[in-house]
Amino acid sequence: MSDPKKLFIKTYGCQMNVYDSERMAEALGGQGYVETKTPDDADMILLNTCHIREKAAEKIYSELGRYRGFKDAKPDLKIGVAGCVAQAEGEEIMRRQPMVDLVVGPQSYHRLPEMEDAVSRGEKALDTDFPEEDKFEHLKSRPKAARGATAFLTVQEGCDKFCAFCVVPYTRGAELSRPADRIIREAQDLVERGVREITLLGQNVNAYHGHEGGLAGLIWDLDKVDGLKRIRFTTSHPNDMDQALIDAHGTCDKLMPYLHLPVQSGSDRILKAMNRKHTREEYFALIERIRAARPDLLLSGDFIVGFPGETDQDFEDTMDLVRRVNFGQAYSFKYSTRPGTPAAEKPQMDDGLATERLHRLQELLKEQQVAAQEGMVGRDVRVLFEKKGREAGQLIGKSEYLHAVHAEADDAMIGTVQKVHVIEARTNSLHARLVG
């Protein structure tokens, strides 16, 4: 047998891309590729890209530029672009960077093996279709290699919401849910290979409809999977938080008390202009119901500042919403104009002002995040240990609330959930000791 070929995948953007990269590596495994950690000795370099903001998309072209020398030194090196930039810019990528051999959109990567064959024959390969067939089922089943304690599992893709700023409905297409039985099978397989925590992924994961009981129904089925200890899901839209899902946060022990529920803005005017289809009061009422079901739930959000037409008052409304809700974790972004989206047609805001607002919002969110971390000191939490820490004898894992936790513990505890007492809050992690 010939030596395996080496595949270097670089992943940008969201967790769905992390999952997709794993599946692409598996698909190319059938073509004789094994993954390598550096591009230096790779036979194929694949960039799995993100189109959500301009900066993320532009980064791809500079990254490709870096690989030109590699191709000169090794002419049969194959270079591919996958993911949402591939979907949005397709042929444009090959025009701007002729050394790119292969462009594959997020809905077509099950066709990678044939595309790789074509490139081996000296052809260029481009596929940005939204095919009828289910790409997940067309991929070869995952090899039975051992896995770490946590894994992502995509259950839903695409979005029908059309927020005025967002490219996702165009790059990932219409909402599509995978059938529950296939997801359960994939979860069982992951557990057999050592996984103890599964994060269900979807651009609109709580709009999942592959189970008659929606996402809550799927969670309750996963609750029955022996050996699976923890379930999480991300990302959700406020309008799809149904009562069954809220109730599950109160009653399903395996469902972790952490919820990422982007609101984007605290101004009704801007929410309307963004086409979010809910008001700030509706968001407050929803948070109240969720906290009634699970008082200790840690809430996370996404925010955009500098959306076209955002006034000082609109921004102050966002600050006020953040103060009232209190987020344990959050991501905030300056609005980025995305070609083809409705908001791109509107008069754009002054960039300096948007930057100033972003800094003010980030300061407030940081204060809340630090307070949430410090509030954990003196409490007992349960940690799923994932790996060894940097210091000898130390393990790293995550609490129920997704805080990174370090503790002195035996290596044999990797993959197990342990009770620990939090001693100290550090910048991005908690320091704890085992209890009992």
Strand locations in 338-416 (E): 380-388, 394-398, 404-408
Indicate the DSSP class of residue 111: G
Q: Tell me whether residue 52 or residue 414 sits nearer to ligand 5AD (CB atom).
A: 52
Among residues 195, 266, 278, 268, the alpha carbon closest in space to that of 236 is found at 278
Query: In residues, how long is the chain?
Result: 436
* Pairwise CA distance, residues 340 & 96, whole Å: 20
Q: From the CB of 233, what's the least distance to ligand SF4, in Å?
A: 14
Q: From the CB of 132, what's the least distance to ligand SF4, in Å?
A: 22
220 binds ligand 5AD (CB under 6 A): no
Q: From the CB of 60, what's the least distance to ligand SF4, in Å?
A: 20
Q: From the CB of 276, what's the least distance to ligand SF4, in Å?
A: 7
- 162 makes contact, choosing from ligand 5AD, ligand SF4, none, with CB < 5 to 8 Å by partner type, with ligand SF4
Footprint (CB under 6 A) of ligand 5AD, residues 293-312: 302, 304
Q: From the CB of 292, what's the least distance to ligand SF4, in Å?
A: 25
Binding segment for ligand 5AD (CB under 6 A), chosen from 60-68, 93-101, 335-343, 394-402, is 335-343
Indicate the DSSP class of residue 257: S
**Is the separation of the CB atoms in 338 and 387 below 8 Å?**
no
Footprint (CB under 6 A) of ligand 5AD, residues 144-203: 165-166
| Helix, strand or coil, per DSSP, at residue 175 | coil
315 binds ligand 5AD (CB under 6 A): no
**Is the separation of the CB atoms in 173 and 202 below 8 Å?**
no
Greatest CA separation for the chain: 68
Which residues make Cβ contacts (< 8 Å) with residue 393, sequence separation at least 6? 408, 409
* Pairwise CA distance, residues 198 & 193, whole Å: 12
Q: Tell me whether residue 168 or residue 414 sits nearer to ligand SF4 (CB atom).
A: 168
Q: Tell me whether residue 102 or residue 155 sits nearer to ligand 5AD (CB atom).
A: 155
The two three-digit tokens of residue 43, written as one number: 């036979």
Q: From the CB of 44, what's the least distance to ligand 5AD, in Å?
A: 29
Residues that bind ligand SF4 in the complex, under the rule CB under 6 A: 159, 161-163, 166, 168-169, 203-204, 237
Q: Tell me whether residue 85 or residue 115 sits nearer to ligand SF4 (CB atom).
A: 85
